[in-house]
Structure 1
């Protein structure tokens, strides 16, 4: 397993194009292994959405605290930029998922 952090979001990679799963060759995967990979992908997406929502809430709280004079301007700007980066990442993933769905729907049967 390999972990990577992008924009403060950590994702794990269970397998790749040339990797075998638990020592099995690529063609030897079972339905259980495929289900495990799907669950890992779902967990990564769920984590992405949760992290984005958390950073948006923190940004809103920082903005309110700044208006009330309880937080320095630099901390507010950092919180807002973090929320913006999380939102952009989430939108990019959504756009890729929509593009993939559209590509699949154009395939002939």
Structure 2
């Protein structure tokens, strides 16, 4: 997911609006876009990719644990894999909580 937003990391606040507009033109390319036209990934894709990455991290930690039981991996590798999986899971849960909270706020809005 990080590589999908790498263009944003090159933006600099100290250089002002010029950098933002040049970055926008490089991201959007030379094609003319109309308002509302899809220019990249949508929210569902980002969430799906994040869920997939989290599941892969959890599966990797489990596989590394099995390797350690078999004597094919050292303790440090297992700890690293488990901590990475824990961080991914905590991030996914925090995002889930924010999405649920936002949904509940939207449902409370008067029509």
Which TM-score applies when normalising by structure 2?
Answer: 0.68
Structure 1 counterpart of 2:94: 92
SS in structure 1 opposite 2:73? coil
Q: Whose Rg is larger?
A: 2
- Tell whether 2:85 aligns with 1:83: yes
RMSD: 2.9
Pairing 1:42–2:44 present: yes
| Aligned-partner Cα distance in 1 for 2:63–2:97 | 28
Q: Secondary structure at the match of 1:70?
A: coil
Matched pairs, number: 92
Deviations, residues 11-37 of structure 1 (Å, cap 9, x unaligned):
53999xxx88769xxxxx633x2xx26
Any stretches of 5+ residues in structure 1 without a counterpart? 1-8, 24-28
Q: Taking structure 1 as the reference length, what is the TM-score of the superposition?
A: 0.69
1:102 and 1:88 map into 2 onto residues whose CA distance is: 21
Q: Which secondary structure does the structure 2 equivalent of 1:12 belong to? A: helix
Check if 1:62 corresponds to 2:64: yes
Unaligned ranges ≥5, structure 2 = 9-19, 29-33
Change in Cα spacing, 1:61 to 1:13, as seen in structure 2 (3 Å) is: closer
Structure-2 residue corresponding to 1:53: 55
